[in-house]
Homo-oligomer: A and B are copies of this chain.
Amino acid sequence: MIRVAIIGASGYTGAESIKILLQHSEAELTYLTALPEECGAVEDIFPQFKGRCPMQIEPLDLGKLSEMANVALCCLPHKVSMGFVPKLLDAGLKVVDFSADYRIKDVGVYEKYYVKHTDTENLKHAAFGLPELFREQIKGVNLVANPGCYPTGASLAIAPLLKEGLIEIDSIIVNAVTGSSGAGKNPSEKFHFPNMNENLFPYGIGTHRHMPEIEQIMSEVAGQNTTVLFQPHVGPFDRGILSTVYCQPKGKIDNEQLQKLYHDFYDDERFVRVCKNAPGVKDVAGTNYCHIFPAVVKGMVVSFSAIDNLVKGASGQAIQNMNIIFGLDETLGLI
């Protein structure tokens, strides 16, 4: 039985991780931590767990951690995470890190979008945890950088085309709409119900931090430098990201060829389903699945993907990664 700690358990990805792990037959939650002011009984912090999880969320004690757990899901925010991950590794744990801190391989790019990187050593050895694209690199590592929600949905949507070199790599536009849970637990003006309800708006225009992450993944899959125009929006629903990805194919391609290409690429993947129709975010809400539908429109490829930003876009994928690094059936807890 894997013994799992969640570092930063008081936020939405913490709650979602707890929920999944309660269903996991070969992992048990053993230790939950958060900032002192966010500690307390799980069922007081998340009423959904009343009677389901009798644990406490406690301030992090590294000694206790190393006794209690052999893997940590590190749900800390960007910039904070890299201050803790080295300690978690030193304490002998394997780590799946939810932040961006170990995702961007190019330190210069990271530092442009975030801050100075303080743990470049571990960064070098971290695997990028998108199993459907980089599974072999994940197996057996001690540190997995769990991908961002947008990069997951966007990359899966066109990976088969990138892999086969079928598209112009400077033609990619990712238009995405996320649900509001992506904003996290802290109240803000934008996500105040009377503002967010009945609303839909773009944000992060030209500056969203997931842009370089998307480019890194796509470049790696394509085997060459790939640029992406990424534009996120947020809509009045809790969960889900719909990515609509536009790109220019190099040659002529039709819908039948697209379907075949995608099925060949994904049919062995449990969590990616190639669909006959366009997916909606509700189809995948609460699941670790990614539904994809590629189509040819006026000579362009338009590929749609839907994921749950908290599951395949965060906690579900993290546990998928955890299963992989422990050599377990990848789907445990997730079906």
Binding site for B on A (CB under 8 A): 12, 22-23, 47-48, 50-52, 173, 175, 177, 179-181, 183, 185-189, 191-203, 205-206, 227, 229, 231, 233, 235-240, 242, 244, 246, 270-271, 273, 275, 278-287, 289, 291, 295-298, 300, 302, 304, 306, 335
> How far is A229 from B298 in the complex, measured between Cα atoms in Å?
7
Chain B residue contacts of A175, Cβ below 8 A: 175, 244, 246
Some 29 contacts from A to B, beta carbons below 8 A apart, are A22-B335, A23-B23, A47-B275, A47-B280, A48-B285, A50-B273, A51-B289, A52-B335, A175-B244, A177-B233, A183-B194, A185-B192, A185-B194, A187-B188, A187-B189, A192-B193, A197-B197, A197-B237, A198-B237, A198-B239, A198-B240, A198-B282, A200-B281, A206-B295, A227-B298, A229-B300, A231-B244, A235-B236, A246-B246
Chain B residue contacts of A231, Cβ below 8 A: 244, 246, 297, 302
Task: Given A22-B335, A205-B297, A242-B202, check contact A50 B187 (CB 8 Å).
Answer: no
> How far is A98 from B73 in the complex, measured between Cα atoms in Å?
41
> How far is A241 from B237 in the complex, measured between Cα atoms in Å?
16
The answer on a CB contact under 8 Å between A244 and B202 is yes
> How far is A68 from B47 in the complex, measured between Cα atoms in Å?
40
> How far is A198 from B12 in the complex, measured between Cα atoms in Å?
16
Residue of B nearest to A51 (CB): B273
> How far is A180 from B191 in the complex, measured between Cα atoms in Å?
13
Nearest 4 A/B pairs, CB to CB: A201-B280, A187-B187, A206-B297, A47-B283
The residue from B50, B198, B240, B302 contacting A200, defined by CB atoms under 8 A apart: B240
> How far is A307 from B175 in the complex, measured between Cα atoms in Å?
19
CB distance from A254 to the nearest CB of B (A): 12
The residue from B23, B278, B296 contacting A203, defined by CB atoms under 8 A apart: B278
> How far is A242 from B198 in the complex, measured between Cα atoms in Å?
12
The answer on a CB contact under 8 Å between B187 and A192 is yes
Task: Given A187-B187, A193-B180, A289-B50, check contact A205 B295 (CB 8 Å).
Answer: yes
Chain B residue contacts of A185, Cβ below 8 A: 192, 194
